[in-house]
Structure 1
Amino acid sequence: MSDFARMNRRSFLQTAATTAGAATLGSALAACGATSPAGTSGSTVTLKYWDWFVTQAPWVDNEIKLFQQAHPGIKVKKTTQASNTFDNLYALAVKSGNQPDVSMIAQKPNLNIQVDQGWLLPVDKWANSSWRSKFPEGTFHEGSNIFKGKLYSAPLSGTAPWLQLYINNDVFKKAGLVNADGSVMVPKTWDDVTHAAETITKKSGGGTYGLGFGNSSFGLLVWWMHTFILAAGSPGGAYGMDLRTGKYTYATDRNYTDFLNLFKEWKTKGYFYPNSMSLTDEVARAYFERGKFGMTVGGVWNQPEWTQHKFTDYTLTTLIGPETTPKGYFPSMPGGTFVAISAKTKHPDEAWAWMNWIYSPEAGKRWVGMGQDLSVFQQNNDPALVTFKPFAQYVATSKLALAAPDVSVRNPQTSNVLVQGVKPDLGDVMAGYYTGQISNLQGALSDLQGRMQKAQDDAVKQAQSKGFKVSPNDYAFPDWDLTKPYITKPNA
């Protein structure tokens, strides 16, 4: 979820005070290299802006408010689309010539295809070396946010594990899962989670369950796989291949089978809330908040809604493996995207002014201050500056994300390798095994591995047939040590 899975939820109780006046805001924007392109003639330019932010809406709304104060000649008209329909709606808007001036970037088709089809406007005219220098080294590179030498976007958020195991402190305390100092006994291993889930379920007499989730809306079982398997030394997690070999390993890496058997055991022993498969993610979060189960997997996007409900008595952890010492970490890669400008905008300078505002370090500071996520600007991410304890815990997890091999840095032409999705996918296999519809787990994983690998190999061959210089070898990094940051070098 890319990051898209962690950016599509709910609403947040605004905590940041708005104290800056228009003059101060104008100075802050000027410091970012922007000018005020509208308002001198007395006319107002209205920009259409699209996103799929719901939880993060208060931050966006606040930035729009501050931006309009600094730019009285520009009005930003925001439309928030549902994340699962955003791609189709954006494609239809492009087809009808009615796309927004500035927008979060659709996940499909691939960004390079959107560029090739003329959907987006390069921003090199404004994003000069001074502007780019504010971002961390390696942020901008071909195949990520630069295509054919032109820049189109930049990341908003910093790097941290995007999934966590959340613990309801009250449930743990009632079950006696506390340390000598009274703090909750945070699970560190698979066995710890099993012990906690068993204790909660048995001591409550069936009134509370150890674990719970909501799988009906998005198919989120893979979140559990990803959270629990990276530390076991399976770098592909739930979403990718093992980049040490450039192959999918669902059937050949025993960790997948071991975790799925454990996951099924938790279900068989009654540790999961019984109706988890039919719950939505939203309902599951509410049930966790109410103490119907003690542990769930989610992301930092959960926190704003719980804060709004005045539920703050929880703890988070992540990177949970079979052993206390992780054998791998959450992979992170330089680059990234967030918003872009439409190539058809009639107001490019005004659109850039709004885009530039979003990417300012000051907006990033408010992004962190409102508990949304880390900022791409590291100076905004000091846990000591965060007053809300659960969010400070999240900020502190950034050390558990290490730089991983980046195929697009090694060979930017791999952005032209367009892998088709397969069905059933890993989430379907997990659901089938959990519900008993799949009995031969190894056979199902072997079939999945074969189909995923074929889709990858076919995509490489198709790109080669179009003249792109790509190879299966682009995806293999045999010298990668999973416990250390990896610096990807471009092909010579």
Structure 2
Amino acid sequence: MTASPLSRRTFLRGSALAAGAVAAGGALSACGSGGSGSGSKSGSALTYWDWYVTQAPWVDGEVSRFQKAHPGVTVRKTTQVSAKYADLVALAYRGGSTPDVFMVPQSPGLAEQVDRGWLLPLDQWATPAWQAGFPEGTFIEGANVFGGKVYSAPLKGSAPQYQLYVHNGVFRSAGLTNPDGSVKVPTTWDEVSAAADTITRKSRGRTYGLGFGNGDNMGLMAWWLDLFVRGAGAPGGAPSGTGTGLDLRVGSWTYASDRSYADFLELMVQWKQRGYFYPNSLSLSDEAARAFFERGKFGMTVGGVWNQPEWTQHKFTDYSLVTLPSPGPTPKAYYYADPVGTGAFAAVSARTKHPQQAFQWVDALTSAAAGRRWVQDLNGVSVHPADNAADGINSKPFAAFVAMTKQELTGPVPVVRNPDLAGVTPQAPKSDIGDLVTGVYTGQIKDVRSALSSLADQKGRLLSTAVAAVAKTGKKAAMSDYVFADWDPTVPYTTKKA
């Protein structure tokens, strides 16, 4: 499955929250959200965990609506630290303080969470009629269905994960405009280089062409590599995480064999050497980088749609965005959505004492009505296609993002072809692609091609070991299951079943 980073992706709320949550150990409990109320003594109190920060107003609004529709039920929300989310969920299960409903962590895999008995089967309520309210292919054996039982439902839809954001005011000040006065948004590697050079030169050190925030140590620099290499023809991109980033044409990581990776990293180093990057980018938090971009301290940054709600709250809308900047005029690969295609799912704990009410909350969060509000609040696209209609979207930048769904194609999904692959859970390398990009940027990694080759080999060995472990249990799993030799990355992938 094409998975988004902890992802599909939100932000660290702060180290203090992380330390406090871990220190609490088995006593982890959900604090009240802004939309929470106090339930009656005879009612039910549901605890709910997610990692949504900029999207929190939407969640709080849904909490308020749900409680009004279910007067005897209270939802108590905790927004956990995204970088620690998987550890906190595991800790809660060990300590016996699991939330009733929660966003599914991406580690361990959903299949392993089911095997561990973490999740409640939802079939009593998630009937075929209920499933029919979602697009065809949303519920798939090996993805979110195991042994014929449904265990989760998607919170959001899928769209290109990363975009290049352009500060219109900075571009206009640098004279980067078209004859009609509109901002000249770069769409190729060369155009990004030229724009960064012009901004940096003309501002004389007051503004930089490029900037980011990697102080949170969340592998954010991998975003740049992922965004730029896809259009160059690397369909696996460069997402961090286990089992992701494969070039499914060959079933392996092509960091070394596809020159796009080394070419972009060399270009990035040139950008740094020429002074195009904001000097303190490595020490900035991602949140600070968003604020610096908003203030015009640099003209371009890489991020996702999660930036937009906060900027809109600050009344900053003078920016443009583009995805898949490519060496040439036409992308040679794209972003790809699997049939489930969300990267964010809601599930119910097997330990909940209020299963029916917990499912009702899942039903409310994943409904078409909530999805439409998700879109209108500028959080992203909905899993329900009708929710993504242009009417009602008053933000020009967000409308541009929604239109980018045309630049995401259906790609091959190994677990759809072979559900037994759901049990394949490769270990994560000690350092992943984000660490490699950071090392190249800082100059600690000199031999880029050797580092790329070593990481690709390491991830390949980890995946092969995980596949072999599943095969030993008697299931049909092989490395060949990850090879789709007939796949053309420039067109949607389709299969014909006998």
Question: Sequence identity of aligned pairs in percent?
Answer: 55
Q: Quote how far apart the aligned CAs of 1:3 are.
A: 5.2
Contact 1:339 1:355 in 2 (8 A): yes
TM-score of the aligned structures, taking structure 2 as reference length: 0.90
RMSD: 1.6
Please give the alpha-carbon distance, in whole angstroms, between the structure 2 residues aligned to 1:287 and 1:464. Answer: 50
Contact 1:10 1:55 in 2 (8 A): no
Please give the alpha-carbon distance, in whole angstroms, between the structure 1 residues aligned to 2:282 and 2:7. Answer: 19
Superposition pairs of residues 307-346 of structure 1, within 5 angstroms: 307-335=312-340, 336=342, 337-346=344-353
Q: Quote how far apart the aligned CAs of 1:272 are.
A: 0.6
Superposition pairs of residues 406-445 of structure 1, within 5 angstroms: 406-445=413-452
Please give the alpha-carbon distance, in whole angstroms, between the structure 1 residues aligned to 2:347 and 2:457. Answer: 36
Please give the alpha-carbon distance, in whole angstroms, between the structure 2 residues aligned to 1:488 and 1:102. Answer: 35
Q: Quote how far apart the aligned CAs of 1:157 are.
A: 1.4
2:464 maps to amino acid: D
Please give the alpha-carbon distance, in whole angstroms, between the structure 2 residues aligned to 1:65 and 1:10. Answer: 25
Please give the alpha-carbon distance, in whole angstroms, between the structure 1 residues aligned to 2:252 and 2:84. Answer: 31
Q: Quote how far apart the aligned CAs of 1:128 are.
A: 1.0
Counterpart in the other structure of 1:280: 285
Check if 1:472 corresponds to 2:479: yes
Q: Quote how far apart the aligned CAs of 1:85 are.
A: 1.5
Check if 1:113 corresponds to 2:112: yes
Please give the alpha-carbon distance, in whole angstroms, between the structure 2 residues aligned to 1:385 and 1:476. Answer: 42
Contact 1:410 1:488 in 2 (8 A): no
Contact 1:406 1:488 in 2 (8 A): no
Please give the alpha-carbon distance, in whole angstroms, between the structure 1 residues aligned to 2:207 and 2:388. Answer: 36
Please give the alpha-carbon distance, in whole angstroms, between the structure 1 residues aligned to 2:378 and 2:335. Answer: 21
Q: Quote how far apart the aligned CAs of 1:84 are.
A: 1.3
Counterpart in the other structure of 2:232: 232
Superposition pairs of residues 210-229 of structure 1, within 5 angstroms: 210-217=209-216, 218-229=218-229
Return structure 1 stretches of 4+ with deviation > 4 angstroms.
none
Residues 204/42 of structure 1: CA separation in 2 closer, same or farther (3 Å cut)? closer
Please give the alpha-carbon distance, in whole angstroms, between the structure 1 residues aligned to 2:322 and 2:331. Answer: 13
Please give the alpha-carbon distance, in whole angstroms, between the structure 1 residues aligned to 2:75 and 2:211. Answer: 40
Unaligned stretches of 5+ in structure 2?
A: 14-38, 240-244
Counterpart in the other structure of 2:58: 59
Check if 1:248 corresponds to 2:250: no
1:9-30 C-alpha deviation (Å, 9 max, x unpaired)? 489xxxxxxxxxxxxxxxxxxx
- Residue 460 of structure 1 aligns to a residue whose secondary structure is helix
Please give the alpha-carbon distance, in whole angstroms, between the structure 2 residues aligned to 1:368 and 1:472. Answer: 38
1:439-492 C-alpha deviation (Å, 9 max, x unpaired)? 1111111211211111111111121122221011100001101111002467x7
254-263 vs 431-440, which deviates more? 431-440
Number of residues of Structure 1 aligned to a counterpart in Structure 2 = 463
Check if 1:359 corresponds to 2:366: yes
Please give the alpha-carbon distance, in whole angstroms, between the structure 1 residues aligned to 2:72 and 2:413. Answer: 42
Superposition pairs of residues 127-276 of structure 1, within 5 angstroms: 127-217=126-216, 218-239=218-239, 240-276=245-281
Please give the alpha-carbon distance, in whole angstroms, between the structure 2 residues aligned to 1:382 and 1:156. Answer: 18
Please give the alpha-carbon distance, in whole angstroms, between the structure 2 residues aligned to 1:224 and 1:7. Answer: 15
1:129-184 C-alpha deviation (Å, 9 max, x unpaired)? 11111111111101111011110112121221011000000000000000111110
- Residue 385 of structure 1 aligns to a residue whose secondary structure is coil
- Residue 210 of structure 1 aligns to a residue whose secondary structure is strand
Please give the alpha-carbon distance, in whole angstroms, between the structure 2 residues aligned to 1:82 and 1:10. Answer: 5
Q: Quote how far apart the aligned CAs of 1:435 are.
A: 1.1
TM-score of the aligned structures, taking structure 1 as reference length: 0.91
Q: Quote how far apart the aligned CAs of 1:270 are.
A: 0.7
